[in-house]
Amino acid sequence: MKTVLSKINLTVFALFMLVLPALTSCHKDDKDDKPTQQTGIAGKWEVGSFTIEGVEIKGIVISSAQLQFDTESSTTGTFSWVMNYTDDTSDTVTGNYTLNGTGKKITLDSNGDKTLEFDIDLTGNKLKLSGIMDESSVVVKADRK
């Protein structure tokens, strides 16, 4: 009888040790780990796809492109957009950006030269900008560097 109780106690103890990590990992944190659009957009981004009217031009016209966003307030900051072309030329556009109240639209103002408005989709380290540029539909997809 004593060995049966010992085996039951050992079995219960072993099961408890297996279940204990699961119990502690189920605790829900009060803090929200999902970044806001403002804090999430800050940093350097490497453009992986650049389409105009559904046609991919990265690799054909644009060899590489990078975006840099620096925050100043909860809805504003500065940006730099560098585009390197396959003919060994490049363009750099700098200016200020503004996020709308919901964080779903971003306006890029290149210091009064040109203003672009994009829908913004930010998921983790993936950024998607879609809108109109020079009267054409543009989609830019980038990964955080």
3-state SS, residue 128: strand
Phi, psi of 18 (to 5 degrees): -75, -35
- Superfamily of domain covering 37-144: Calycin beta-barrel core domain (2.40.128.20)
Torsion angles phi and psi, residue 8, rounded to 5 = -65, -45
Binned at pLDDT 50, 70 and 90, residue 70 comes out as: very high
How many residues does the structure list for the chain? 145
- Binning pLDDT at 50, 70 and 90, where does residue 102 land? confident
Going by C-alpha positions, the residue among 93, 94, 121 that lies closest to residue 105 is 121
The predicted model gives 138-142 an average pLDDT of 98
Above 70 in pLDDT, residue 2? no
Alpha-carbon span 24 to 137, nearest angstrom: 49
Between residues 139 and 16, the one the model is more confident about: 139
> How is residue 73 written in tokens?
């307030």
- Average pLDDT over all residues of the chain: 80
CB of 114 closer than 8 Å to CB of 143: no
Q: What is the pLDDT of residue 103?
A: 80
Q: At 139, list the tokens.
A: 């989609």
Average pLDDT estimate for 49-68: 96
| More reliable by pLDDT, 111 or 120 | 120
Tell me if the pTM is above 0.75.
no
